[in-house]
Amino acid sequence: MPVVELHLIEGYGEEDKRRLGHALTDAVRFVVPAAPEGVVVMIHEMAPDAYFRGRNTKTPAPALPDPAEVVRSYLAAMEARDLDTARAMQGDGFTMFFPGTGPMTDLSELIDWARPRYSFVTKTYEGFDAMPGAGDTSVVYCRGTLSGEWLDGAAFSGIRFIDRFELLSGKITRQDVWNDMGEARGRA
């Protein structure tokens, strides 16, 4: 039975500690074939005045937001066409790639690209997978199906998609989109 002990300076909320416990359990299970209940994670908290580094006490940094929740909120804002809220979730150097496009850096480019393709599109999510990326980057994949309406008013549904996001410091810096819309559009 793997046992992981984590020492934290007091100040993290219950949700932050829950996320840490889940992430550490998943990290162990990535290597060790143990059931979740077979992995023990113990979080020990200490008062800020009980921890010194360089002769000084330290205050804990705030926890980063859950990257999957950032992506979920971003996609909800995009679907609602709340572009200002979506832009606020983008980090410096944000870039997105959609099928058949080069890099786009502003949501207005995406709107212009989509305008001659369909009237609207909605997503049904089958899952979100978040993981560490290179360096300080987080990676989130979301997958599911697309539904909506072609320009001629015909409905479509069940079109597969996968989106991949990179986040840095809780902000989305890259979005890559793959879907079968081109194949479905050719049959419409």
**Range of 45's domain?**
3-57
Residues 162 and 80 in one domain: yes
- Domain match, 84 and 152 both: yes
Asked if residue 149 and residue 78 are part of one domain, the reply reads yes
Q: Which residues of the chain have pLDDT under 70?
A: 186-188
Q: 109 CB contacts (<8 Å, ≥6 apart)?
A: none
Same domain, 85 and 163: yes
Task: Give the whole-angstrom CA distance, residue 87 versus residue 84.
Answer: 5
Backbone angles phi, psi at 111, to 5 degrees: -60, -45
In a shared domain, residues 83 and 42: no
**What is the reported pLDDT for 37?**
95
Residues 40 and 85 occupy one common structural domain: no
Same domain, 163 and 108: yes
Q: Do 107 and 172 share a domain, yes or no?
A: yes
Instruction: Report if residue 164 sits inside a domain.
Output: yes
Q: Specify the number of domains making up the chain.
A: 2
Predicted confidence at residue 186, as pLDDT, reads 67
Answer yes or no: is 62 within a domain: no
Cα–Cα distances in angstroms (integers) from residue 22 to residues 19, 130, 151, 186, in the given order: 5, 12, 44, 43
State the pLDDT at residue 188.
55
0.85 exceeded by pTM: yes
Considering the domain architecture, whether residues 122 and 174 belong to the same structural domain is answered as yes
CATH number assigned to the domain comprising residue 147: 3.10.450.50
Question: At 83, phi and psi to the nearest 5?
Answer: -65, -30
Pair (87, 42) in one structural domain: no
> Which residues have a Cβ under 8 Å from the Cβ of 42 and sit 6 or more positions away?
3, 4, 5, 6
For position 50, what pLDDT does the model report? 86
